Amino acid sequence: MSPDIFLFFLLSSLSLLSSLMVIGSSNAVHSVLFLILVFCNMAGLLLTLGAEFLSFLLLIVYVGAIAVLFLFVVMMLNVKTNSIKLNIYSISPVGILIFMILFNQFIISFYDYGFDLLNIERMEINLIPWAVENNYTSNIKAIGLVFYTNYSLLFLLCGIILLIAMIGAITLTMHQRKDVKKQRIEIQLSRDPSKIIKFVEFRN
């Protein structure tokens, strides 16, 4: 078995186990941490398959933003373990039905594309090892060349739209209160000290 095939099966197995722990863990914080582990394994799986752009995009967007946001929300809300115990026999038919549907789609996808897990090395598939892909043009470079040449104007317009949306969100969250006393430097500098300081003489 080649190293690419070994990494493929290893990362796939870790992703599957981590996803099962996401739905099986009773602690919400542990579920989010296992979800981050799922995203990391999938990023590594996409990297071994040659999809570098999707791999880094998954790390930046999902792990760096969405999963961390979930973690902060769960920790700030202090979500505790639900004290209500569900009967496993009442929800098992729904779980079995969903599992059968997903497993059926999984098998159909393998038969439609003629994919055989047992004879994967004997099939006529052009497998390029990820370690020797330095001599080829990566998809990140190809996408970057397309973005900054043919679609450079649209790319800049998307950046401007996102900047306007960020400024609008910040403006909407700023609440102006009229009953709050604010410090005005120009009024303080224009005050006459002789009219402010008052000397009081105490006599016994």
pLDDT bucket at 122, cuts 50 / 70 / 90: very low
Domain ranges of the chain: 137-175
Judge contact between 166 and 40, C-beta under 8 A. Answer: no
Provide the pLDDT for residue 113.
56
Token output for 137: 């043009």
47/56 Cα distance (integer angstroms): 8
Measured CA to CA, the distance from residue 134 to residue 130 in angstroms comes to 8
User: Which residue did the predictor score with more confidence, 174 or 127?
Assistant: 174
Q: Which of 10-24, 104-118, 132-146 has the highest mean pLDDT?
A: 10-24
Percent of the chain residues topping a pLDDT of 90: 4
User: What are 41-93's pLDDT values in tens digits?
Assistant: 988 888 887 788 888 888 888 888 888 888 777 777 766 655 556 667 777 78
- pTM confidence score: 0.56
The answer on pLDDT for 181 being more than 50 is yes
12 CB-near residues (< 8 Å, 6+ apart): 45
